[in-house]
Amino acid sequence: MINVDTVSALLSQKGHVYDSFSQEQGQSGFVIFTHLKENENLKYAIKVFDIDDGSKIRVSESKIQECQNEAFAMKKLNHKNVVEYHSDYQIQLFYFIQMKKCESSLYIWSKQNEEVIPNEQFYSIAKQILDGLKFIHDQGWILRDLKPQNILINYTDSKIKIRLCDFGAATCYPKLDDVKSTAFYGSLLFTPPEVIFSLLQGKENVKQTQQGDIWAFGICLSVIGKAQLNQMDYNNNNWQVPTSPLLTPEAQIFVNYILEQDPQLRPKIEQIRSKLDSLFSQCQNNTQLQLNASSGSFSRISQPFCQGIFDKPFIQYSFKEIATPLNQYFNNCIQEDMKFQINEENFGSFSDNIWELKMLPWLCFYGQAFVQL
Ligand SMILES: Nc1ncnc2c1ncn2[C@@H]1O[C@H](COP(=O)(O)OP(=O)(O)OP(=O)(O)O)[C@@H](O)[C@H]1O
Ligand SMILES: [Mg+2]
């Protein structure tokens, strides 16, 4: 057990003043909050590890290695939705990973929340977690311990900003096909069926893949919607996760879409992203369109990089200019009713204002199609 007084005294050598310690403590680390003596606005969260080899005088090289691996992951994974690494260092028999402090965690936030999560907020939370996770996955990392306790939050203009933390269980593979079976890491409730099956078969080593992180992401969203998740219940119930009373129907559809029992069939991040966008199109401020009644054209607002696209009436666009990106986008849509194809015949109706109005929700995706090109 780490002694707060001892650690605070060591950190004061580095100019830190102890504030408090985190109420949420995991297995290996211990997180304390500090500010700098010279500037009280600089607030840090410092993960402290006891690296004593048991002798009380020597350090364990393997423990140091583990701490450095975790710090390395944090340093590498520099992204707006990942916790901000500051530095890592050893003082005597302790190792420290210093990060910028976040205000709270999704776990604490959801414990305090009693209200149905509005679609806009759900969309924003899910999108930010996905963006962080996609970045982490794109660099070849697997988190293995994604859960609300490891999803930190800040509030900016009363909006939740997400930062993923805790790389204690994270691992990196240059080639993801090579993922090896290892000792199990993580929390059972967030563990995907394929890994639970292996554990139930008594296997000591299990294969934890990025598809496992995707499952954990789905469970995180169920949990923040206050689903009554009891491990045994849902294992025995063919992995049917109970509905979450604090999720809207759209959010619930989204969660059910992610929580596919078979890891091969479980959607990939890109698919999940487009499902999210299609279910919550009204929440995307980057696809707001306004109708210019006099010219009968739509123009995009709030996204400077798209300015110009909708400036002229639709009839002035060539078939190719509109149909190619739109069809490509519709084609990739998972939702069946989005599988619309524009052809030379129906394209003519672009000159019809009423038809344009009916198309308004689709035109939101239309903007998206341009952004993606
Ligand atoms: N940068 C931070 N800002 C605010 N709180 C943090 C920060 N980093 C961690 N915390 C808090 O401390 C808790 C524990 O941190 P973390 O999850 O990294 O360690 P752990 O769970 O003890 O680690 P491990 O799973 O490796 O044993 C988090 O759940 C979070 O509440
Ligand atoms: Mg943790």
Q: What is the pLDDT of residues 332-366, one digit of tens each?
A: 655 555 556 666 665 544 444 434 433 444 454 44
Whole-model pTM over 0.95: no
Q: What is the pLDDT of residue 371?
A: 32
Residues of the chain with CATH 3.30.200.20: 4-100
Question: Is it the case that residue 325 has pLDDT exceeding 70?
Answer: no
The alpha-carbon radius of gyration of the chain (Å, integer) is 24
Residues 6+ apart with CB under 8 A from 246: 113, 114, 115, 116, 117, 224, 225, 226
* Alpha-carbon separation of residue 156 from 103, 162, 244 (angstroms): 11, 10, 27
The yes/no answer on whether domain 118-282 falls in CATH 1.20.120.1750 is no
pLDDT at residue number 284: 65
Ligand 1, CB within 6 Å, residue ranges: 22, 24-29, 31, 45, 47, 83, 99, 101-102, 105, 145, 149-150, 152, 165-166, 168
Q: What is the pLDDT of residue 137?
A: 97
Q: Find the ligand nearest to 186 CA.
A: 1
Domain 4-100 superfamily per CATH: Phosphorylase Kinase; domain 1 (3.30.200.20)
The model's confidence at residue 200, banded by pLDDT at 50, 70 and 90, is confident
The environment of the single-atom ion ligand 2, i.e. residues with CB closer than 5 A, is 26, 150, 166
Supply the pLDDT for residue 160.
96
Token pair 């977690």: residue: 129
Residue 241 to residues 119, 126, 167, 189, 210, Cα–Cα distance (Å): 20, 18, 27, 11, 20
CATH 1.10.510.10-classified regions of the chain: 118-282
pLDDT given at position 175: 84
**Protein residue with least CA distance to atom 11, ligand 1:** 22
